[in-house]
Amino acid sequence: MASSSRPEEERWLTEEWSRRDFLRRGGQGAALVASSGPLAALIAACGGASGGTGGGSSNNKPATIGWSVAYFDHPVYQLMMKGANQLAAKRGAKITFTDGKNDPSVQSADVDNFLAQKVDGIVLTPAVSDPMIPAVKKINAAKVPFIVVDRKMFTHGSGIHWAALVGFDMAKSGTIGGQETVDALKGTPGRLAVVEGTAGAGSTIERGSTFYGIIKQHPEIQVLFKVDGDFKRDKGLTVTENILQRFPKGHLDAIYYMNDEMALGGLQAIQNTGRLHEFKIISCDGEKEALDNLRSNGGINYDGIFFPQDEGALGASVVLDIVQGKTPDWNNQSWEGRKAFADKFEGMPWVRTDFYRVDPTNANDPQYIGW
């Protein structure tokens, strides 16, 4: 897909990449050379082709990967797993997915089971980042190749490490959401409610930090109410019902939802109370149902899109390369023609899939149909 040339996104690139100390600016991330130096050492520490229990497939047996997913009942993760399975089938590997049930204790038990099963590699999509640090320490101690996909983790000086992060730029999605909200509230009093995701999740933290950063630049906008929607449609419906009770007609100008599932649930509550089109709705993720609603003027006014299958396929490709003793080609990562960029996060490789603004001006473009 062609990269965006919107001025507000270019400003985001300058501000965000400077803040995170990225090595290069201008639309593509910092190229990573992995044949020697710290990255090669990092891959070796994670097991490589011969390290620890993740000994790879030198005996010609199919590589086995254990992947703990934050939870199964979300289209993002269903598509992520589909992409991973498609790639694994091409590579003759086996991936075992486990349902983390949005619970760090369940995901920690998943990690223990993977280690006991002596899988060749482990992938984690953490429901919540910080409580998983002890489990990651166990993976590191066992020297099993390990990567993180979709939701970021933060080291907090704990010494944990991973061979790569594969995921879209959630901070960018928050920045775009903030810019869309500013656009939506022009000419209004600027009264805003925000439905956030799961408290403590990396996606909530990152998306929220940049979203609120944009909002703070506009003192005319008042954030009247914040509530957790847990990234779930049913929770989005429930919390929106509460918002509508708290703010009667004429007292709210917009609601920003941190994902489409919550927005679609919220939209049902708004329709049920006969308040459709009373205020603006801003969302993100790129579900076709949400983008169809935007295209039909059904209530959602702004959205954004990423491609979860890219995260899954590229995550599977990276971990299999490492398990099989190969250095991933960081500068040439793509799936179905969509290129990812090579960057760093927490000093470690980040395969960054992109995020795109969608509004009434481009919602009918074929690449923005939705998933």
Q: What is the CATH number of the domain that holds 149?
A: 3.40.50.2300
36 within domain boundaries:
yes
104 within domain boundaries:
yes
Same domain, 81 and 57: yes
Question: Considering only CA atoms, which of 145, 233, 252 is closest in space to residue 193?
Answer: 252
Say if residues 224 and 253 touch (Cβ distance below 8 Å).
Answer: no
Give the position of tokens 């949005």. Answer: 102
- The type of residue at 21 is D
Q: What pLDDT does residue 216 have?
A: 98
- A 10 A CB-CB count for 100 gives 26
Q: What pLDDT does residue 59 have?
A: 53
Q: What pLDDT does residue 155 have?
A: 96
Same domain, 301 and 321: no
Same domain, 299 and 181: yes
Q: What is the pLDDT of residues 18-61, one digit of tens each?
A: 333 322 223 332 222 232 333 333 333 333 322 233 334 445 68
Q: How many domains does the chain have?
A: 2
Same domain, 37 and 144: yes
Query: How does DSSP assign 111-166, residue by residue?
Result: HHHHHHHT-SEEEE--SSSGGGHHHHHHHHHHT--EEEESS----TTS----SEEE
11 within domain boundaries:
no
Report the length, in residues, of the chain.
371
- The type of residue at 184 is A
The gap from C-alpha 201 to its chain's centroid, in whole angstroms, comes to: 10
Domain that holds residue 128: 31-162+308-354
235 within domain boundaries:
yes
**C-alpha angle 196-201-206 in degrees, rounded to nearest 5:** 70
Same domain, 144 and 39: yes
Q: What pLDDT does residue 177 have?
A: 98
Q: What pLDDT does residue 203 have?
A: 85
Same domain, 144 and 177: no
The rounded average pLDDT for each run of 10 residues, N- to C-terminus, in the chain (371 residues) is 35 34 29 31 33 42 96 94 98 98 97 98 96 98 98 94 95 96 97 96 91 98 98 97 98 98 98 98 97 98 96 98 96 95 96 95 95 91
3 within domain boundaries:
no
18 within domain boundaries:
no
The distance in angstroms from the start CA to the end CA of the chain is: 15
Beta strands in the chain (DSSP E): 64-69, 94-99, 121-124, 146-149, 164-168, 191-196, 222-228, 254-257, 280-282, 303-305, 334-335, 338-339, 341-345, 348-353, 356-358
- A 10 A CB-CB count for 113 gives 14
Same domain, 197 and 293: yes
Residue 270 token pair: 């708004």
93 within domain boundaries:
yes
Q: In what order do the strands lie in the sheet with 164-168?
A: 94-99, 64-69, 121-124, 146-149, 164-168, 348-353, 341-345
Alpha-carbon gap, residue 189 to 324, rounded angstroms: 58
Same domain, 153 and 252: no
Same domain, 198 and 149: no
Same domain, 248 and 216: yes
Which alpha helices (H) appear in 186-232, and where do they start and end? 202-216
6 within domain boundaries:
no
Q: In what order do the strands lie in the sheet with 222-228?
A: 222-228, 191-196, 254-257, 280-282
Say if residues 31 and 342 touch (Cβ distance below 8 Å).
Answer: yes
- The type of residue at 251 is H
Give the position of tokens 């409580």. Answer: 131
Same domain, 127 and 181: no
Same domain, 191 and 282: yes
